[in-house]
Amino acid sequence: MTRSARLRRRLVEQLLDEDVLHAPEWIAAFRAVPRHVFLPRFFTPAGGLWAAVDRDDPGWLETVYSRDVLVTQLDDDPDRWELARRTGPVPGTPTSSSSMPSIMAIMLEELRVRDGHRVLEIGTGTGYNAALLSHRCGAGQVSTVDIDPLLVGLARERLAAAGYRPACEVGDGALGFPAGTLFDRVLCTASVSSIPLAWLTQTVPGGLIVTTLNRPIGAGLIRLVAGEDGTGQGHVLARDGRFMPLRAHRLAQADPLPRPSRDDWEQTRLPMSSVIQPRKQFEFFAGLAMPGARPVRDGTDDSVSLVHPDGSWVRHRKRGGADEVAQGGPRALWELVESAYVDWCELGKPDRDRFGVTVTEDRQEFWLDEPGGRTWPLG
């Protein structure tokens, strides 16, 4: 057995231990598909910067088969890796990656693929996920699209090298697949702020769409069932997942926050971690209460603040073991947070999987427990 095969088996054992991989078909796919073919080079974190890693570097293969997300592009610029290789670690914002194998396994199983299904993947990236789909479904049943021509070209070459030939096209993933084929399953490996209606029209009635939401607070996975008339309805999934957004769904950079005075700070019983950390049960509901708000990290002291496009903001700090906040702008965001926490408690502290999603041509909304009751806008 080759070293890469041993490392693939070890990765599968780790995914089994994490309880994210169960189906024999997907276990076989993760054991068979050579991830290293799709990751000849990538970036790794280096003290706030990004270092370039090449296949000839010590530990490259072990890193490829780790459980980590591996960044493959910065700032939509294919030349950043070469620059980092020549000059040392560089700054930048990740714009393409090979996702954590655990979230890939979760999404693939949540897709509920059956033999004979035609599958569309939105966001080709490295091509590794398309290879897993091709191994499970047959390459003739898989189509994949990405807006970046360079990424598609490299993915097509690496897929062929690994023995897979799905249909690979360049295009805006929000518009679906250029050929106009109908699919049984649609899987988006990037996040979206709202569900593109083109996905629903390209999915057979009763087919499934699995994607992640581009919500700075309360993001995660959803699965929709396509209706007869280009509509969809489904649920937020219990198992969480976060992805880079489609390019058209990226958020604008936040403006610098003002510095509060000493008298602006007041104590709160609600820590910021309860609002912004995905593992906290309240986080999803907090996002419903504050659509558009997002966390930003202060580089000077690494504290986390909340900002909103309308100019409202909240700063948070720990002082003497107590949580304190200062806020400003047209709305008191933290008062909204605290009111939402009371509301959430009165509703029985619902977790994310009690929420559903309805998508029509006119509206996209969340609902609690069943359609027709209390709703919140998705976008």
In this structure, how many other beta carbons lie within 10 angstroms of the beta carbon of residue 67?
Answer: 12
Rounded CA-CA distance 214/179 in Å is: 26
Check 96, 97, 98, 99 and give the catalytic one: 99
Q: What is the SS3 assignment for 227-296?
A: CCCCCEEEEECCCCCCCCECHHHCCCCCCCCCCCCHHHCEEECCCHHHHHCCCCCCHHHHHHHCCCCEEE
The verdict on whether 66 is a catalytic residue reads: no
Chain centroid to CA 334: how far? Answer: 26
Whose tokens are 């610029």? That residue is 77
Q: Return the active site residues.
A: 99
